[in-house]
Amino acid sequence: MHIMEGFLPSPWWWIWIFISLPVIIYGIYKLNVLIKNKRDLLPLLAVAGAYIFILSSLKLPSVTGSCSHPTGTGLAAILFGPAISAVLGLIVLLYQALFLAHGGLTTLGANVFSMGIAGPVIAFVIYKACTKAGLNFYIAVFLACSLADLATYVVTSIELALAFPAQTGGVLTSFKAFATIFAVTQVPLAIIEGAITVLIFKYVIQVKSDVLVKLDVLSEAGLRKIKELTT
């Protein structure tokens, strides 16, 4: 999903850094508050980060004959909110930019925006909307995570289209060209990501369900209902 090093001309690379930076700073602030007040949630935070680590290293083949990888940010977004997910996303993107030459430092702002901010915001909003609408918890998680994954790639396409508008047809034509590569490839991967994240949530409920109530992901009553259904 990364925009490669050097592939965003000025002013776009610093515009995206400018947009992402405040979110990262706010995320670090939120992270500090979390670490101070709810230390017992740290292991789960590590899981959320580790999940992004794993999923973004899996380059899966897709219907379009090319490879791409899921993002894994939906889990962190549902558990800890988009700001903290942005920080976790930044860590993974830095690893890949520095050690793997995937993505880059000049394009870091744009990549953090698409993977660390846009995706998690979508996941968070969809999850909240679905639970408000009274949808089944697992379906809400599935929708939130797969659509967040897809949104990341749609946003990447927008970022590239803005920087490289086509001579005839402008931004919209470029967007279509980039979206056919990124977004279409991503559809099956997004479904897989959604499905696997649902499993992770199932196991969190099995081994340590109280953290979900603590994080306001589920209400006491909602948790009881899920447990009754599965046992």
Partner 1 sequence: MKLEIIVAVIILIFTAQFLYISSTTDAEFGGADGEAEGVIEELTGGTYEPIADPIWEPPSGEIESLLFSLQAAIGALVIGYYFGYYRGKKQPA
The torsion region of residue 6 among left (phi > 0), alpha (psi -120 to 50) and beta comes to: left
Q: How far apart are the first and last CA of the chain?
A: 39
Q: Return the closest-CA partner of residue 31 out of 74, 90, 71.
A: 90
In this chain, which of 3, 154, 158, 190 binds partner 1, going by CB under 8 A?
A: 3
Largest CA distance in the chain: 60
| Residue (25 or 199) nearer to partner 1, CB | 199
Closest separation in Å from C-beta 112 to partner 1: 16
Figure out which of the listed residues 25, 208, 219, 224 binds partner 1, where binding follows CB under 8 A. 208
Q: Which is nearer to partner 1, 132 or 203 (CB)?
A: 203
Residues 51 to 110: which contact partner 1 by CB under 8 A? 51-68, 95-102, 104-106
Which residue among 32, 136, 199, 216 contacts partner 1 (CB under 8 A)?
Answer: 199
For partner 1, the binding residues in 111-150 under the rule CB under 8 A are 138
Q: Does 31 bind partner 1 (CB under 8 A)?
A: no
CA distances from 202 to 43, 138, 163, 181 (A): 17, 8, 41, 33
Kindly tell me which of 28 and 192 has the beta carbon lying closer to partner 1. Answer: 192
195 touching partner 1, by CB under 8 A: yes
Closest CA to 147 of 74, 55, 51, 64: 74
